[in-house]
Structure 1
């Protein structure tokens, strides 16, 4: 491998690891805020205990997300300086807003929430967690603005004197058609992920008969979150497929390993045989499905990889414009399949818990406990498909990945940093898993009888919510 391959591996490893925490942070922040709202409105102690329990898991995950996210910023300057120089004038605006506004909004109000128990009035304290939750969503919004520009660059011009992209229309950047579908799709996937995590922990406790008063309402909240967010993922993903086919038809063709243009085009659930277009030993296909996904017309035309390669050679010059087809083909199917299994499990759980019931079969409880990796893997495969399907471009149609790597970074230095980050992130993974499992198994805290969240007596007693 050369420096370019190693730099791509390093960015993939650190990005995918970081993105394990982001969906949970986004989803849990809102779910914790919803539970605290229920407590403030009803005064029922189980909601307070649930808020503190899930809030602790949320904070552990948030801290890990911050630690791993810092590395992302530095990589642009270390391994991808040519790319940073080219897109800095465009990327600077959304990333600066994300750091200065969204992240500080999130962190400031999260601090108030952590240390404001028994010190702030109930509704002021509740407002702090909602502001923190809004901050997490705003962070995702501006990060996705930057990523969507890489998928579909708008609102810019190339300065011929400096050969750099310069932002000309900030509104066009914020309203990029790719971003308008990628953002709701990502947020919906975040709620699906956090819902499954909540389902797992509730199942572990309820299967053992622990704290039913706390975990019953949390279970129902988790199941409704999974089902509703799953529907939102499917709807936004359907729209996203058509937008992708219009803007990056090569990615859509690679998702199906479709080498020749078809009208109509079928969708293969799986394929046995090489994915190089030479032959297919066996494939299970849904007629017209790819045409429907790509064009909203069951008889629509979908361009093939070979035809698009010739078209791109004429438009962009000689070169290989095909992504790595096996990765895009299988990541697309694993993303969809794992997501559908997660939603199906949530729908089943919602049916089994209707009218205040609890499932009697331990099979469901065990399936729920082991379901946590499903949406996490679906998210990861989704990003693999999104980013690898764009290759060989960092900015589609404008700037190639081969031209983006730092010119003065050697193979040895990237290899050392890749090994270092891999080992460090492996250690952090062990710590994260240990902390989450420890506090998840510990259950909700016991609330002292005198803890009525009255800030006037905060100096006379210890904090009821400490980390």
Structure 2
């Protein structure tokens, strides 16, 4: 493989690893804040124990997420210097906002929350975790604003003298229609991930520790959040698909594996074929009209197929190039995203049903709870892979309603370095991230299996400022 292939693999590997932790951090921070709020309002010691329990798991995930995320931005200079040279003036703005504002907000108040148990007034300590949760979600917005620029560049113009894209409006960049749909979709997906994580662990403990009734309230809370977030994911995903059809019709056609332009195009349940560069040979079993509705809101609408879009792009951006993304990747990742999301939603629905009227399900549900936990993680990962692979061969996709000069092919954004250099860093990062993933899983498993900690008093406030600190608190 050449340097381009290796650089793409490296960014893909590090992004997938990092994105294991991101949705859980985004969703778990406000859920822990809700648990602590319920404790302060009700005085119920069970909510304090749940706050301590899931707060510890949140901190493990946050720490690993920070470590794996640092490398992400370094790669723009290491492997993608030509991309950084072209759009650095624009792309760097939301990344700087994320680092200077959001990340410092979340890290500062997470520190106050960790070391503030028994030292800060109860309401001040509660405010610290809420501010940290706001910072976590604000970080997600700025990162998504940067990514949305790559999907749909706005607020920018080309400087003909330097050949670089220059930011003309930070307001346009931060109110990009793409990020206004991507942000709520990602946030609801993150809440769905965190709720499944909490419900899965609490559900396992609820069955195992029937007598205490300690984990039932948090399980019920997480299941309700899971279903509400699932509805939000569906609504925002539908809006995002319709916007994608306007901005990146090739990505939508590739998601369906739609080769030819059709009226009332169907959504395929299963497809077989031999798609490849320059051809799109796919046979599918489809539900008529559904794809047209997903793309336009009209079951009978005409939607362009991959072959016609290839001809259109060749005329507009230059012949002799394949503008079709990897059809197998986009097609199946799109369906896996939906499928894993439905598994998580089914878990929440079943969980609420089997725990109605103070019932406790049997051991089968404990196994179901643990099996369901990975589902939203996989939904997030496959959704992210679909989003990024579907944009190819562009690293900055041209905007239909913007400056046609603001675009860049992925192969033009790579640094002028040799494959051995990129291959070495790819190997090191893969091994390092693999090790961190093992550490993360081991810590999560260890502290989840330990159960909720005992507490000495409801408020945990004392005058012993010199007591030794244990992990997390």
User: Which residue of 2 is the match for residue 426 of structure 1?
Assistant: 434
Partner deviation per Cα, 1:302-344 (whole Å, 9 max, x = no partner)? 1011111111111111221111111001001101111111111
Question: What is the deviation of 1:462?
Answer: 5.7
User: Which residue of 1 is the match for residue 238 of structure 2?
Assistant: 238
What secondary structure, in the 3-state scheme, does the structure 1 residue paired with 2:325 have?
coil
Question: What is the deviation of 1:348?
Answer: 1.3
Question: What is the deviation of 1:452?
Answer: 2.7
> Where does 1:138-287 land on structure 2 (aligned, <5 Å)?
138-209=138-209, 212-275=212-275, 279-280=281-282, 283-287=284-288
User: Which residue of 2 is the match for residue 102 of structure 1?
Assistant: 102
What secondary structure, in the 3-state scheme, does the structure 1 residue paired with 2:213 have?
helix
Counterpart Cα distance in 2 of 1:406 and 1:181: 32
Deviates more, 1:350-359 or 1:245-254: 350-359
Question: What is the deviation of 1:25?
Answer: 0.4
User: Which residue of 2 is the match for residue 336 of structure 1?
Assistant: 338
Counterpart Cα distance in 1 of 2:340 and 2:41: 37
1:446 aligns with 2:447: no
User: Which residue of 1 is the match for residue 365 of structure 2?
Assistant: 364
1:459 aligns with 2:458: no
Of 396, 407, 413 in structure 2, the residue corresponding to residue 404 of structure 1 is 413
Partner deviation per Cα, 1:96-153 (whole Å, 9 max, x = no partner)? 1100000000000000000001011000000000000000000000000000010000
Question: What is the deviation of 1:163?
Answer: 0.8
Question: What is the deviation of 1:206?
Answer: 1.9
Question: What is the deviation of 1:464?
Answer: 8.5
In structure 2, list runs of 5 or more residues that go unmatched: 399-406
Contact map agreement 2:393 2:410 (CA 8 A) in 1:
yes
User: Which residue of 2 is the match for residue 309 of structure 1?
Assistant: 310
Partner deviation per Cα, 1:34-57 (whole Å, 9 max, x = no partner)? 000001111111111100000000
**So what's the TM-score if we normalise by structure 2?**
0.95
Question: What is the deviation of 1:353?
Answer: 1.5
Relative distance call for 1:210 and 1:448 in structure 2 (3 A) is farther
Counterpart Cα distance in 1 of 2:299 and 2:92: 42
What secondary structure, in the 3-state scheme, does the structure 2 residue paired with 1:157 have?
strand
**So what's the TM-score if we normalise by structure 1?**
0.96
Contact map agreement 1:199 1:369 (CA 8 A) in 2:
no
Counterpart Cα distance in 2 of 1:331 and 1:452: 47
Contact map agreement 1:82 1:403 (CA 8 A) in 2:
yes
Contact map agreement 2:395 2:410 (CA 8 A) in 1:
yes
Residues matched between the structures, number: 462
Partner deviation per Cα, 1:370-393 (whole Å, 9 max, x = no partner)? 112211111111011100100010
